Homo-oligomer: A and B are copies of this chain.
């Protein structure tokens, strides 16, 4: 039996979906007993040359052709962004169509509305492609690992910043130059804010944390620091300390208290996340029964993203054949609370510029001592014009203590600037 599918959007991801469905037509039929057929593709410009070929009548510029066609059982959304994707998805769900989306912005910001609409309409929403590209993350968390209380998520889940930081590490170049190159190569968008300011990683962490911790979490719950302030100097100091800088997303659940953070982080080279380069993503998951798990793979790209979407499509086809829906519901536990500024104890890297004169370091050391922050490593370099640069790596200490020490430091006259503060993971403890 043929199952009609509408595809919203035909950019990089949408083309990948068409290509993969064509390629796997036979296998999908054997697996599910049903033949998926993408009958309509919503595009802005039907004349635009594309890498995939269509039957003429497939292309449309009118979303109603898909949303109001009662024969279409499934809608795949690859437009991205909030509107009109949100309205289209809500209309599709209300019309009784199953929805598959790769739209992390939408799920992170309007996930509750979308899931509730789907539940009310008795249809499913799948979004494996929204986080981690090809890597199975959503479904393992929602299905395979459900016997666990998940306590920790930690990973690299934004490809653009990982590419930029990898290139900064390889070449020693500064952020702005590498960003420009990444934009020219198409690895970064012309407006890179969402990626380089950590918002994209924050949204993905919100999606993962909602599932893993059984909580309603949005971007607003995530403390986000981007990578714009990371300089070639930080990269060089990290190297001197045996580490690389990565944008790490981290979520913890301690007896219902959630902490959610996206921060540039010094990853010592003995830690597996140090070796996740360029466009790859990786996620650590700790469960109370399973222990530590890691998932690694391509976080973006046409076919990797299509791999996740078509995997979801096969799941919907299975549900259609079995005539079931809403098999896997998201559990929400009411007692979960988000705390801010109370991250797990960690070692911290602090880079400061201070007046280059006697007694300044003693002052700093005294302030750290008063805040009960002990130092593991200190690198001091003369810079220029009466300014010295100090890099401190602390012993393991709570985030609140570090914040206290930094607040005290910034009140000291001889401290010119606190350049960067980053947690350190890995390394002998």
* Residues in A lying within 8 Å of B, measured CB to CB: 16, 20, 24, 27-28, 30-31, 128, 134-136, 139-140, 143-148, 272, 275, 287-298, 301, 303-304, 306-311, 313-315, 318, 322, 324, 327-329, 331
Q: Are A289 and B304 in contact (CB under 8 A)?
A: yes
Name the B residues within 8 Å of A290 (CB-CB).
134-135, 297-298, 303-304, 307-308
B-side contacts of A136, CB under 8 Å: 136, 140, 144-145, 293
Please name all residues of chain B whose beta carbon is closer than 8 Å to the beta carbon of A128 when the two chains form the complex. Answer: 144
Partner of A143, one of B28, B295, B311: B311
**Which residues of B are found within 8 Å of A322, using beta-carbon distances?**
322, 324, 327
Cβ contact within 8 Å between B30 and A134: no
Question: Looking at the complex, which one of B311, B328, B331 makes contact with A318 (CB distance below 8 Å)?
Answer: B328
Closest approach, in angstroms, between the C-beta of A14 and any C-beta of chain B?
14
Partner of A31, one of B296, B307, B331: B331
Chain B residues with Cβ under 8 A from A287's Cβ?
Answer: 134, 307
Contact check, B289 vs A307: say whether CB atoms are below 8 A apart.
Answer: yes
Can you add 9 more A-B contacts, CB < 8 Å, to A144-B311, A290-B298? A28-B147, A135-B290, A146-B314, A147-B310, A289-B306, A289-B307, A291-B303, A294-B297, A322-B322
A148 to B303: give the CA distance in the assembly, Å.
10
Contact B144 A293 (CB under 8 A): no
State whether B297 touches A20 (Cβ < 8 A): no
Report Cα–Cα, A139/B146, bound state, in Å.
Answer: 13
